[in-house]
Amino acid sequence: MSVLVGKKAPLFNAEAVINGGEFVENFSLEQYLGKKHVVFYFYPLDFTFVCPTEILAFQEKMPEFEKRNVAVVACSIDSKFSHWAWLNTELKDGGIKGVKYPIVSDLSKSIAENYGVLAGNYEYNEEGEMVFVGAPVAYRGLFLIDKNGIVRHQVVNDLPLGRSIDEAIRMVDALQYFEENGEVCPANWKKGEAALKATHEGVADYLGKK
C-alpha cells in the first residue's frame, strides 16, 4: 500500500454520477485544481451496510465542507448504473437517495490501485491462470488534497471499520489554518484553539499556556 502524502494525487478521467442522478462521462479531480480542497474517499461496494452510513454522513455534513470551500468526492468499483440505482433508492429500502456529491465509478479498479487502496491484487496460480487474491474492492481510503493537487492527509480503514466524518473536517480545518497562518496544529487541535510556531520556543510557549 502506498503513502501518497506529499505527492501529487493520481489523476483520472472516469464515469461518475453527480447531483444525485446525472451521468458524467469524463469526471476528473482536475476541475478543482486552484479552486478547492478535495476530500476524495473510497468505499467498498454499493448496496452494502457500513458504506451507506458513511455516504449519508458525508452528505449530512456537506454544509460544513461547503463553507470551507471543500469538494467531497466518493468512489467505488461499482458501475455508474449501480451508483444511479442506489442514489434513487429510498433510505428505508437501503438506498442513499438525497446524496448530491459526485460518486465515481472505478470498474477497472485502476483508480483504487493508483491510490494504493485496492484490497487485493492479481497473481498467477500454479496452473498459470490469473487469479485475484484478496477482496476485489477498495479499502475505506480517504485523501485530503490541497488546491495544488497535493495529498496532505490520508487514512485507510479495513472494510468493517467506518470512518469519522468529524475527523475529516478537523483535518481540513488544520490544513487550512496552517496554510493561512503558517502555524502548526498540535495533538487534538480543533478550529478556534491556539496553534503553535514550529520552534522549540513555540512548543514551550504552547505547553506553558495549557
Dihedral (Cα; 20, 13, 30, 32), 10-degree rounding: 10
Active-site residue identified among 45, 51, 55, 96: 51
Which among 151, 166, 165 has a CA at the least distance from the CA of 11? Answer: 151
Whole-number CA gyration radius for the chain: 19
Give the count of beta carbons closer than 10 Å to the beta carbon of residue 115.
26
3-class state of residue 179 by DSSP: helix
The set of cell numbers assigned to 73 is 468526492
Whether 117 contacts 138, CB under 8 Å: yes
End-to-end Cα spacing for the chain: 38
Which among 44, 67, 66, 33 has a CA at the least distance from the CA of 146? Answer: 33
> Which residue type does 104 have?
V
Compute the 3-state secondary structure of the chain and give helix, strand, coil in percent, each to the nearest 5.
30, 30, 40
Please confirm, yes or no, whether 185 is among the known catalytic residues.
no
Catalytic residues: 51
